[in-house]
Chains A and B, each alone.
Chain A
């Protein structure tokens, strides 16, 4: 006592029952076997009998209700009036047991989310925030960090969250103002493109919304797919281990004008291990596909002289290393992601310069007054203007996945540069059109890969950096002994010595005398 009256299981394909009629009213006496109510099934109307004696109380479903199978709809109690709530004889059926094979799941089948969802769906007027499309071959995005929390106000253009693509970390701005009503996926979650990850409401949400996962450490879901258990969000069930996507994409980066190089897995591995460039076999006229035997041919090719032309991003030119061997092959699986570790041992360039901090500070104040409130954009403009003319200011491969050709490359050269500026750990990408108008510096298009990275460490305690070459040249600004210390680091094949010197000198000069930039 009391017995629970439940909506019974009705058959293999049915998970709710329509309560057609009650045969007893609350308070009525009931004997075991009495018909309590009728349920409509897909075949007929079924009478459900009482399983015990007592009085019908706590009726929770009415005629016309569609009740999920297993749900308690009334009690048979010792007395007619439900007094203080008695503990039920058995644990109420919560989530129904596993569905048998072949049956439709009895409840809503929303996948388990890392962050709790709001119980209701979006209210009218709410705007959905979705995982944006990230490029043709990318169908999920890893949320790296949220810049807003539930309840926060949001202005159009505010950065909501950062998502990692295979090239860079991309910031996703809000398209309109409002308040964060709910966040459905948190930092570390891998979310399919197009899926709703947050809601913006027009007005401030009343009830405190469920807390989202804050910028937690990146969870291991990304690393290992091998453990059984909760459903992996990404669809890539099969291969354990590190993300194969980045490598595959980089490997498919076009080899300049030659298109894709065909080679056996063994040949590629041997070339990579020995730091040989398969492109040279192409140039040497060796027919594809290349096999392991061709690597010996490759190793025997004459070494070429110092490079003169611009290297392609994501590619290396055949340039000798200090020991006379050629650089690693293009498109190897371990390099390609901007900001990621270099997968090959390449001697780097490390240059430093100085500038006056005062001049820059004064200039930035003045610029803010003039409406240029984003110091990052200004620095990006200075940096882009300092890039040597020989560096393609355009993009060798445009935003992920778009078909590229040598022609695309040629027409976009020199018309703009993409500069990533990292301030206090936050990175923004800017598109800097050719010319010096700082006001024309705009946020870069989604997924655009930077030509240059600038780290502004002013205000931090870092005095000097020697971080090693990254995939693109990196300019770092730090404060040291009342001066600005500017450092340029890049891979040796990325910029020639002359170009590197010119870049850092030019940039430092602009910082020192900003007004010169305008002339």
Chain B
């Protein structure tokens, strides 16, 4: 099977959906000729024209609001938010308007838009261009949230997102655009709410999101060398969440670690860990651990930045300790 980059996979997904449905359009900063600074959208404007690949001024609230109105009235915008950090700029239109319109109208108005943005640190972009803020939007009822962990996931989830009639926020890891994976030529969609078990194991469950899936897989390799068998699961979507798969795995292994690049406190790791602790309680042989990014703004210096995110070694170390029955915290 062919291998393509994550950037190419996203590009293909959007192009295919735009061909399929003339109401789909892309809007954002530098999406047309520039194809975005990450070059993910290169070639689209040539095929679909500036009427459907729309460059905007630097007006995040403005074009987010415009997309909401467009989605309410018959088109399907794919809004490009250049950095996930700019989520803070669009929160009113995204969370007060888009997320709630269907509910507040009693089901009469729907907002079928996709907000496409990114997350991920270690790019030396400093605190305001390195945040992973998916927890903020997962917390708002009415939004769906997808986190592709590879080129294969990216294409399948993007196509599903565009066809979904709800507002969907999809976060790509900006460090992964050049990472390749096997992606079929034939069309496929990945449904929301279905987790992916990438590796089966019996001693500990490692749940990872986005690029942390790769981190968990690498950790699993390290653990295997020590005779510890780790199960690795990618939830793929936070909302809707395939909770059943996570719980079943935790019940099987009795140990779970959730790895996510959002800040460790008050984030995705907390939510998934809480659900496991609640619903797999009587099967747990170790405390459920959270491993997120450090609760500090992302530092600029490479010597510091790389300390702030979970690594395969750190995950493997934590997993080995709980498998040995060591006290992670005082009893």
Contacts and interface: CB of A to CB of B under 8 A. Distances in A.
Contacts, number: 28
Interface in B140-178: none
Contact of A265 (B282, B325, B327, B331): B282
Contacts of A291: 285-286, 325
B271 to A, nearest CB: 16
Contacts of B283: 265-266, 269
A240 to B, nearest CB: 12
A288 B254 contact: no
A269 B281 CA distance: 10
Q: Classify the secondary structure of B's interface with A.
A: loop
A266 B282 contact: yes
Contact of B327 (A269, A289, A292): A289
A292 B324 CA distance: 11
Nearest to A260: B331
A200 to B, nearest CB: 45
Contacts of B254: 264, 266, 292
A267 B285 contact: yes
Given A291-B325, A292-B254, A264 B285 contact: yes
A264 B331 contact: no
A289 B331 contact: yes
A265 B285 CA distance: 6
Nearest to A264: B285
Nearest to A289: B331
B284 interface: yes
Contacts of B282: 265-266, 269
Interface string A272-293: 0000000000000000110111
A288 B327 CA distance: 10
A266 B251 CA distance: 10
Contacts of B281: 265
A240 B253 CA distance: 26
A292 B331 contact: no
Contacts of A288: 331
Given A291-B325, A292-B254, A293-B325, A266 B331 contact: no
Nearest to B324: A291
Interface in B274-331: 281-286, 325, 327, 331
A368 interface: no
Nearest to B254: A266
Q: How large is the interface on A (under 10, 10 to 19, 20 to 34, 35 or more residues)?
A: 10 to 19
A270 to B, nearest CB: 9
A359 interface: no
Interface string A289-315: 101110000000000000000000000
B327 A264 contact: no
A81 B9 CA distance: 86
Contacts of B284: 264-266
A262 interface: yes
Nearest to A273: B282
Nearest to A266: B285
B322 to A, nearest CB: 10
A145 to B, nearest CB: 35
Contacts of B286: 264, 291
Contacts of A289: 325, 327, 331
B320 to A, nearest CB: 14
Nearest to B287: A264
Nearest to B251: A266
Nearest to A262: B331
B26 to A, nearest CB: 39
Interface centre among B283, B284, B285, B325 (most CB of A within 10 A): B285
A175 B106 CA distance: 58
A301 B285 CA distance: 21
Interface string A252-272: 000000000010111101000
A266 B250 CA distance: 12
Contacts of A292: 254, 285
A291 B331 CA distance: 13
Nearest to B284: A265
Contacts of B331: 262, 288-289
Nearest to B283: A266
B274 to A, nearest CB: 12
A241 to B, nearest CB: 13
A291 B327 CA distance: 11
A267 B254 CA distance: 10
Interface centre among A262, A265, A269, A293 (most CB of B within 10 A): A265
B205 to A, nearest CB: 14
A293 B326 CA distance: 13
Contacts of B325: 289, 291, 293
Nearest to B281: A265
A265 B288 CA distance: 12
A197 B325 CA distance: 50
A262 B281 CA distance: 15
A83 to B, nearest CB: 47
Contacts of A266: 254, 282-285
B208 to A, nearest CB: 23
A267 B281 CA distance: 11
B13 to A, nearest CB: 41
Contacts of B327: 289
B315 to A, nearest CB: 21
Interface in A175-199: none
Q: Which 8 A-B pairs have the closest CB atoms?
A: A266-B285, A264-B285, A291-B325, A292-B285, A269-B282, A291-B285, A262-B331, A265-B284
13 contacts: A264-B254, A264-B285, A264-B286, A265-B281, A265-B282, A265-B283, A265-B284, A266-B254, A266-B283, A266-B285, A267-B285, A269-B282, A289-B331
Given A269-B283, A293-B325, 4 more contacts: A265-B281, A289-B331, A291-B325, A292-B285
